[in-house]
Amino acid sequence: MSIRATEQRETAAGEIVGAGGAATGVAATGGNGFYPNGRPVKKIDGTTVRMETEGLTVRYGVSTFGIQDVSMPVFDRSVTALIGPSGCGKSTFLRALNRMHDLGVDIEVTGAAILDGENIYEPQVDAVTIRRRIGMVFQKPTPFPTKSIYENVCAGLRLVGMRRKNVLDEAVEKALTDAALWDEVKDRLRSPGGSLSGGQQQRLCIARALAVEPEVLLMDEPTSSLDPNATMRIEQLIQQLKEQVTIVIVTHNMQQAARVSDYTAFFYVGEMVEISRTQQIFSSPREERTQEYLSGTFS
Ligand SMILES: Nc1ncnc2c1ncn2[C@@H]1O[C@H](COP(=O)(O)OP(=O)(O)OP(=O)(O)O)[C@@H](O)[C@H]1O
Ligand SMILES: [Mg+2]
């Protein structure tokens, strides 16, 4: 399958499911093919579109475009890799998917990022709720270094007012287990987050992101500072997580993109050039620029 930005609206429009066309994997629909706001669930080639951007543009200051007019789907419970040269807008796009740019100064975001049929940039949508539903893991592990491992994982839950110890205990164990870290830290939950190794800290950050049970997880080069063993653990984790969570990952490692992702989107100079199934993009990309990038003959 290949999904070009110019074609995807047509394709998507042709494959919108109606009543009775249950969208597997989308809890929010109640299984009748519609979101609670009445919008129909979209499918492309039979796969549910969990998020979709339409003409998403991010401008830094007056003149620098981080991304320009990006329209692409993010498929439910799958891994989408974002690839492309440095400075081409991958991180900018990722941050726009959970309204992280709201926190920056002099950044203008236009267009739409639609989650479950609702544009997250609509004024009535609460950005904090969006960031709970759409979690983020950054390139460098960012635990609270002096807070305990336990408190690091709880941070998001405390923010939403969860206080009961037994509930927190359970959530911490589950998140650390899901992040493949529980066995290594279960006897030292009161140690500071900063006492863990880099790879463990990154898994701690993943546990922190998972604790609030996000529906979408955004990962910006999550293994770029890790050794091969820690990288492998995180890649395995991504494979397990996609059973429950929709994942978008930025990577400069083409082997990693090929190993972990179902779909790959190629970014170049602020534009999303093409998105296809990963297998296809690596074997026969449609666009010359993608071909050149993948073959290393990029000028
Ligand atoms: N906070 C910012 N203020 C001003 N310009 C920015 C900011 N963040 C990114 N940019 C610019 O936006 C463009 C896209 O940057 P972005 O960080 O999204 O690229 P990237 O594809 O993630 O690159 P890399 O692979 O190096 O991480 C670049 O021209 C960059 O200089
Ligand atoms: Mg980046």
pLDDT in tens, 280-297: 999 999 999 999 999 987
Identify the residue whose C-alpha is closest to ligand 1 atom 13: 66
How much is the mean pLDDT over the chain?
Answer: 88
Looking at the predicted structure, is the pLDDT value of residue 178 above 60?
yes
Ligand 1 atom nearest 82 alpha carbon:
21
Region 83-95: mean pLDDT is: 97
Please state, in angstroms and rounded to a whole number, the distance separating the CA atoms of residues 49 and 117: 9
Q: Which amino acid is at 85?
A: P
Of all residues in the chain, what percent are helix, strand and coil, respectively (each to 5)?
35, 25, 35
Range of the domain at 50: 2-295
Task: Pick from 88, 223, 267 the residue to mutate for probing ligand 1's pocket: most ligand atoms within 8 Å of its CB.
Answer: 88
Question: CA nearest 212: which of 260, 245, 249?
Answer: 245
Given a contact cutoff of 8 angstroms between Cβ atoms, the answer to whether 269 and 88 are in contact is: yes
pLDDT in tens, 133-152: 999 999 899 999 999 999 99
Please state, in angstroms and rounded to a whole number, the distance separating the CA atoms of residues 85 and 293: 8
Please state, in angstroms and rounded to a whole number, the distance separating the CA atoms of residues 212 and 168: 11
Q: What is the pLDDT of residue 1?
A: 47
CATH number at residue 152: 3.40.50.300
How many whole angstroms from 97 Cα to the centroid of ligand 1?
15
Q: What is the pLDDT of residue 33?
A: 84
Looking at the predicted structure, is the pLDDT value of residue 74 above 70?
yes
Number of domains in the chain: 1
Looking at the predicted structure, is the pLDDT value of residue 14 above 70?
no
Helix (H) or strand (E) holding 254: helix 254-260
Please state, in angstroms and rounded to a whole number, the distance separating the CA atoms of residues 274 and 281: 9
Q: What is the pLDDT of residue 96?
A: 98
- Percentage, residues of the chain above pLDDT 70: 89
Region 64-84: mean pLDDT is: 97
Ligand 1 atom nearest 94 alpha carbon:
18
Q: What is the pLDDT of residue 181?
A: 92
Ligand 1 atom nearest 89 alpha carbon:
18
Looking at the predicted structure, is the pLDDT value of residue 124 above 70?
yes
Which burial class, exposed, middle or buried, applies to 21 when counting CB atoms under 10 A from its CB (0-12, 13-18, 19+)? middle
Please state, in angstroms and rounded to a whole number, the distance separating the CA atoms of residues 34 and 79: 23
Q: What is the pLDDT of residue 11?
A: 33
Looking at the predicted structure, is the pLDDT value of residue 194 above 60?
yes
Q: From residue 35, how far is each of 18, 42, 72, 254 by CA, in Å?
A: 11, 10, 20, 35
Q: How confident is the model at residue 16 (pLDDT cuts 50, 70, 90)?
A: very low
Q: What is the pLDDT of residue 299?
A: 59
Ligand 1 atom nearest 93 alpha carbon:
18
Q: What is the pTM of this model?
A: 0.89
How many whole angstroms from 64 Cα to the centroid of ligand 1?
9
pLDDT in tens, 100-121: 999 999 999 999 999 999 999 9
Q: What is the pLDDT of residue 3?
A: 54
How many whole angstroms from 239 Cα to the centroid of ligand 1?
28
Given a contact cutoff of 8 angstroms between Cβ atoms, the answer to whether 113 and 74 are in contact is: no
Coil, strand or helix at 252: coil
Q: What is the pLDDT of residue 29?
A: 55
